[in-house]
Amino acid sequence: MCAVIVVNYHDDLNEVQRDPALAALLAAPLARAPFDRIAWWQGLVSHCGMLPLIAVARDGDQRCALPLLRQARDVVALANWYNFTVTPIFTAGADRHQLLVAMAGDLAGQTPCIVLAPLPDELGETSLIETAFRAAGWAVWRDQCDINHVLHVRGRSFGEYMASRPGQLRTTLKRKGGKVAVTIETAFNPQSWAAYETIYAQSWKPEEGSPAFLRSFAEAEGAAGRLRLALAHADGEPVSAQFWTVEGGTAYIHKLAHTEASKPLSPGTTLSAALFERVVDTDRVETVDFGTGDNPYKRDWMEEVRPRYRLTMFRPGWPGNWPRMAKASLRHWARRG
């Protein structure tokens, strides 16, 4: 480790890409998930009006990048409702703790409060950030903000996996699986995407947060061969749609919807089964990630629940933080007691 770690901040993503080591780190296929790629951040900037603050700690060839966003005096994660996670991103072999401690120390000059969510901890990500910011003098509160349903395939075929599903789900598939026709596309098709948007508008789902962002992401994933867009038709009319992507051994379930009128046909169940069969038997994924939220239907398909965390971090020497820190302490002890 070099004696000096340099921390810089970027609000221009083109500037980020001028650093070859950083550009390589944030490009597919090296990124661990869609949310870790610079293309995802570009979508947030272009379609969601977010002005990024990308914090980068550099030590020789080692890099740590943390996507952030200014929100008045505070700094929060550069993320929106489509993010499954947000995490710091490191070059292979980097001293993660030292890079994060240096970044945390420098961020004290940028803001009195940082809020990061949703954070995973399967690989110790939340714990690593918490430890580093405490070491740099921040007061840190950690709480669970959401959950994530996930399936680990563990070498099973689709048939073996389905044999372990709840009896009611298997019965529904047997009775209604032939009532809709299913197609799965891996290239972006404007007509199919228009059908998805029509279905979504006629579903139980709330208004889409950023249709332009989602379409742009789907177009890019289709061009890269990572898209899995499935449609179910009944009597020639599209009634259900699901938007998945596949990369790095993981299938990500981003969006799903069916029209209220088609509910008696259970088209979503048929469509899910077709996509699970595709990603398990053809794509050979190791994991299926159902994102955040505890919707009851997820429990039929998934086998594990993982917490998602929020870290709220204050500069304790800043008087304006003292009332907020007191409230954070009260909330923390109320949850525990």
pLDDT at residue 30 above 80?
no
3-class secondary structure per residue, 197-216: HHHHHCCCCCCCCCHHHHHH
Q: In angstroms, rounded to a whole number, what is the distance separating the alpha carbons of residues 81 and 99? A: 28
Give yes or no: residues 204 and 238 share one domain.
yes
Q: In angstroms, rounded to a whole number, what is the distance separating the alpha carbons of residues 278 and 282? A: 5
Give yes or no: residues 239 and 312 share one domain.
no
Give yes or no: residues 124 and 158 share one domain.
no
CATH label of the domain that carries residue 10 = 3.40.630
**Domain containing residue 52:** 6-147+308-336
Q: Provide the pLDDT confidence category of residue 32 given band limits of 50, 70 and 90.
A: confident
**211 in Cβ contact with 265 (< 8 Å):** no
pLDDT of 29 reads 64
Give yes or no: residues 20 and 132 share one domain.
yes
Give yes or no: residues 132 and 24 share one domain.
yes
CATH label of the domain that carries residue 177 = 3.40.630.30
Closest alpha carbon to 313 in 68, 97, 81, 36? 68
Give yes or no: residues 214 and 316 share one domain.
no
261 domain residue, yes or no: yes
* Cα dist from 216 to 42, 179, 188, 219, 256, whole Å: 10, 32, 10, 5, 17
294 domain residue, yes or no: no
Q: Provide the pLDDT confidence category of residue 174 given band limits of 50, 70 and 90.
A: very high
Tell me the whole-structure pTM to 2 decimals: 0.94
292 domain residue, yes or no: no
**143 in Cβ contact with 126 (< 8 Å):** no
Mean pLDDT of 152-174: 97
**314 in Cβ contact with 324 (< 8 Å):** yes
Give yes or no: residues 134 and 44 share one domain.
yes
Neighbours of 40 (CB within 10 A): 24
Give yes or no: residues 209 and 233 share one domain.
yes
Give yes or no: residues 326 and 258 share one domain.
no
Tokens of 296: 């009851």
1 domain residue, yes or no: no
Q: Provide the pLDDT confidence category of residue 97 given band limits of 50, 70 and 90.
A: very high
pLDDT of 337 reads 67
Q: How many domains does the chain have?
A: 2
Residue 1 or 27, more confident: 27
The model's pLDDT over 126-144, given as tens digits with 9 standing for 90+, comes to 999 999 999 999 999 999 9
Residue with tokens 């110790």: 124
298 domain residue, yes or no: no
Q: Provide the pLDDT confidence category of residue 320 given band limits of 50, 70 and 90.
A: confident
Give yes or no: residues 27 and 136 share one domain.
yes
- Strand partners of residue 75: 70, 114
296 domain residue, yes or no: no
Give yes or no: residues 106 and 161 share one domain.
no
46 domain residue, yes or no: yes
pLDDT of 2 reads 47
246 domain residue, yes or no: yes
Give yes or no: residues 91 and 13 share one domain.
yes
